[in-house]
Structure 1
Amino acid sequence: MQVIGLCRFSYPAIGGFQTTHESVEERRQFLYQHDRLEERFRLFEAVALPGFKKQSDEDFQLVIVVGDCLPKPAFDRLNDLTGGLKQVRIVAKPPGRHRKVMQDVLNSARNDPDQPCLQFRHDDDDAVAVDFVERFRGCVRECVGLFERHAMVAVDFNCGYLARANSEGIQATRVHRPLITAGLGMYVRGGQRKSIMNFAHNRINRAMPVVTRPDSPMWVRGLNRFNDSPRTRNMDVALNPLTRQQELEFQTRFAIDPDVVRRRHAKP
């Protein structure tokens, strides 16, 4: 079964942000400001990409959506970072209605729209475990009867880490959080045009059944000053420096090297 992930990299959508702007031009200026782009690239390279490079099941696609107005140096940098990952395809789109654009991108990525597929969305400052695709597929096999009876079913890996990455390394805490973006996927029946981007992630359980997997940590949710959600950006949660054992877990579960994080964030 085809597995498709979608990642928006500073795409200037109309809608789709909790941070509001008066115009598309104002949104572009916010998204493309130097400090913000630098932070997104540091997190994308050191946190988000490593886990996709090390997936135990390599049969997946990751579509990265950018604006066709993304500055060329930024586009070239993104292209260089993902050049060694065969599963990645960068798609440049003009600004448009968020849900409609993302739905069209996902449907265009389907090899055969008449066959079922698995979809997930991913933020460029988050990470998934190296066995995410394998376990996502495995969930369908384990619950085949449920998936056969419904046009759409969500899969929620609800255990992970809230984390902050900076020049001192990673500070984190392990949590269970239902229906956040990281670690959430969706089965879509063949012939169904709706996609995972048609639903607010925290309310997807109002539209379809949800299979919850609460055991192994499956994601890292990044906390940083440019989080779109004010609730996430200002989250009052105690984060502690990783222990040596946790550093090893981040390396084995997410392919995140805390030393690489320190070096990337130490650059001016």
Structure 2
Amino acid sequence: MLAPPPVLLAYSGKFLPDKGFGTMQTIGLCRFSYPALGGFQVEHETIEKRIAYLYDHNRLEERFQLLETVALPCLKAQTDPDFSLIIVIGDQFPKQHEERLADLVADFPQALLHKEPPRNQREVMKEILNAARLDPSEPCLQFRYDDDDAVSVDFIQRLREAARDVAPLLAQHKTVAFDWNNGYVAEFGPEGISATEIFRQFYVASLGMYIRGDCPMTIMNFAHEKISRFMPTISFSEPPMWVRSHNGYNDSRQKPVKQIPVKPLTDAEIKIFRDRFAIDIDHVKRVFSGA
């Protein structure tokens, strides 16, 4: 078993959970260009070729732009800040990029960078999540997080409230999933943001999971779109809860897929993106234009 990752340090002081739903330990997991063995829809012949692809300068530049403008602001603005986010990187991640990543999360005490050598992605992620549980005999909430997506600023709050509201169901099952299926597909660039609202069940963004105490299951045990096959799932259809970015390096879009048309945000949508997701269109323009 892995030694407990330093993410536990993020729980000092006010982040120390107790046994109530209101402060149940909540753990997020984000893979930032981690060169896993498996886990990608686009395969590479060798791990060296995968690392070269993931650490390509142009690709990493876009990932950092999306992390800075889309993925991190909403987590830093959560109405319930009592959670942790483990950001997993490879042990060969270039030093200058690791320092850049550390700078981006310097004002985000819930985040921790966790290094791993290339390993089977599902097994290593399960180990990391289980090692992060402060008390495995107590239940916890977990969520996955893609580095180019966003969740609503009240996602953690709503996840906890949903778990509290279905307490009798949780008492009967080792695991229960919570899914918010209303969100946006969006594209980001120097001109700003284009998007369209869609309904899609079991996206990675805004998908959470309850795990009973003494249960070794994690949210990484299951493919996100198949999670309803293995446990009770509860879906909520409003309000908009996530932004799924479409960009040049989406792993799921490297093969032919159905295109989703998007349009420049209206004034009303600009406000929704700012208020619901902490995504500021002027910030997007500056970062993507290199200003």
Identity of aligned residues (%): 50
Indicate how the Cα distance of structure 1 residues 63 and 158 shifts in structure 2: closer, same or farther if over 3 A, else same.
Answer: same
Aligned equivalent of 1:158, options 181, 187, 209: 181
Cα RMSD of the aligned pairs, angstroms, is 1.2
Matching of residue 136 in structure 1 with residue 190 in structure 2: no
Q: Give CA deviations for 1:234-265 in whole Å, capped at 9, x if unaligned.
A: 44111010001110111100000011001111
Change (3 A) 1:235 1:78: farther
Equivalent-residue separation in structure 2 for 1:103 and 1:96 (angstroms): 12
Which residue number in structure 2 is paired with residue 247 of structure 1? 270
Q: After TM superposition, give the deviation of residue 232 of structure 1 in Å.
A: 8.2
Give the corresponding residue for 1:125: 148
Which ranges in structure 1 are unaligned for 5 or more consecutive residues? none
* 8 Å CA contact retained: 1:152, 1:208: yes
Q: Which residue of 1 aligns with 2:38?
A: 15
Letter of the structure 2 residue corresponding to residue 136 of structure 1: L
Task: Answer yes or no: is 1:63 the counterpart of 2:86.
Answer: yes
Within the alignment, does 1:183 sit opposite 2:206 as a pair?
A: yes
Alpha-carbon deviations, 1:19-69, whole Å to 9, x = none? 101111110000000000000000000000000110000100000000010
* Partner AA of 2:57 in structure 1: H
| Partner SS state of residue 90, structure 1 | strand
How much does 1:81 deviate?
Answer: 0.4
Query: Which residue of the partner structure matches residue 92 of structure 1?
Result: 115
CA gap of 1:100–1:75, structure 2 versus 1, over 3 A, is: same
CA gap of 1:220–1:100, structure 2 versus 1, over 3 A, is same
Match of 2:238 in 1: 215
Query: For residue 134 of structure 2, what is the aligned residue in structure 1?
Result: 111
User: 1:108 Cα deviation (Å)?
Assistant: 1.1
The gaps in structure 2 that reach 5 residues or longer are: 1-23
Q: State TM-score, norm by structure 2.
A: 0.90
Q: CA shift at 1:231, angstroms? A: 7.0
Return the alpha-carbon distance in structure 2 between the equivalents of residues 25 and 82 of structure 1.
Answer: 28
Structure 1 length-normalised TM: 0.98
User: Which residue does 1:266 correspond to in 2?
Assistant: 289
State how 1:15-34 maps to structure 2 within 5 Å: 15-34=38-57
Q: How many residues align?
A: 268
AA partner of residue 137 (structure 2): D
Give yes or no for contact 1:225–1:233 (8 Å, CA) kept in 2: no
Specify the alignment match of 1:194 in structure 2.
Answer: 217
* Kept in 1: contact 2:42–2:254 (CA 8 A): no
Q: Are 2:2 and 1:2 equivalent residues in the alignment? A: no
Task: Tell me: CA distance 1:151–1:128, structure 2 relative to 1, closer, same or farther (3 Å).
Answer: same
**Does the CA-based 8 Å contact 1:9-1:66 persist in structure 2?**
yes
Q: Distance in 2 between matches of 1:187 and 1:173?
A: 30
Partner AA of 1:101 in structure 2: V
